Amino acid sequence: MTYRLPVFMILLVTAALQGKAQEARFNGDWFIQNLGPTINTEYRDRFSMISPDGLALYFSSDRPSNLGNPNERGRKPWDIYVAWRNSADEPFGEAVNLGPTVNSPYRDHSASFSPDGLSMYFASDRPGGCGGYDLYVSYRQDANDHSGWQAPEHLGCTVNTRFDESCPILTTDERTDFALLYLVRNALPGEPNHDIYVTQLHLGTREFEEALPVTELNTSVHDGHFDPRHGLIWSLRDGGYGGADLWVTGWLEQGGWSPPENLGPSINSEHNEELPSATSDGRLYFPSDRPGGFGDEDIYVATPADP
């Protein structure tokens, strides 16, 4: 199902992998398209992350075939899925569960991958962590082998805490060449009130250091995800169009992130738009509970029309 939206112009300020701000102006219409039944189901399909080339989509779903036992509402725990295609203009093939090597009988979600595609970071509340949701990493030898992920490794109790950590994104600071891991943390279990944090990989120990809040991006409400590669934020902050909205920020020359700007009504609705990710050609992928989908939450793509 495809919707053609009114003409809307935005300035999308993106943060490159090296931390420099870049600008891409989208002129004309946005086309919002549901990714269809190979991705979306009657269940909840969310926590999506698109690869930069647009060929692989990782997301989480609570389908009945998942590992683990259903909760009191009959929902299975989140499992991580992948779907891929040969061209960014083709539809995705059927989504595949990553299986018990990666997924557990507990909740596994918000997977993202390193720039080289060989590391996948995600959140899980499986036993053996430091608190609620903790961050894990899995490795593979071939960036095109979606079944080649190895058993996940826990990131340790320096970056993980007794609180919930999720939505990890790995990038590189061009000024220092250090690996940075952005994440969100919820210090109020049971309530949606995450803040954005960042941690640096210690070159000596090869472990992530204590995560610190990114104060210029956080509010008193839910700031649920930040993609520093493109400056994209999922937030319930004031100034939106209804539920959670998608926002964008950019890296300032003097350092720090600019005040986030709402992506506007061509993307956001009175319903919830969540966890945005983008391709190198400027397409935005995001889950939403807007009407007209296949289930409670579906994954959509927003494509800018040619000027």
Q: SS3 of 162, please?
A: coil
Domain carrying residue 184? 2-304
pTM: 0.89
pLDDT band per the 50, 70, 90 thresholds, residue 306: low
CA distances for 261 relative to 11, 12, 19, 54, 217, angstroms: 9, 9, 18, 25, 11
Q: What mean pLDDT comes out for the span 99-122?
A: 96
Q: In the structure encoding, which two tokens stand for residue 14, read together?
A: 């993106």
pLDDT band per the 50, 70, 90 thresholds, residue 206: confident
Query: Position 58: which residue type?
Result: Y
More confident residue, 223 or 21: 223
pLDDT at 175: 76
Per the DSSP assignment, residues forming a β-bridge with 208 are: 201
Q: Find the CATH number of the domain harbouring 183.
A: 2.120.10
pLDDT at 172: 87
11 by Cβ neighbours in 10 Å (0-12 / 13-18 / 19+) ranks as: exposed
pLDDT at 6: 27
Place of tokens 């109790």: 157
Contact of 298 with 35, CB cutoff 8 Å: yes
How many domains does the chain contain in total?
Answer: 1
DSSP per position, 183-215: EEEESSTTS--EEEEEEEB-TTT-SB---EE-G
C-alpha to C-alpha distance for 170 and 182, rounded to whole angstroms: 6
CA distances for 21 relative to 8, 15, 204, 233, angstroms: 22, 5, 29, 15
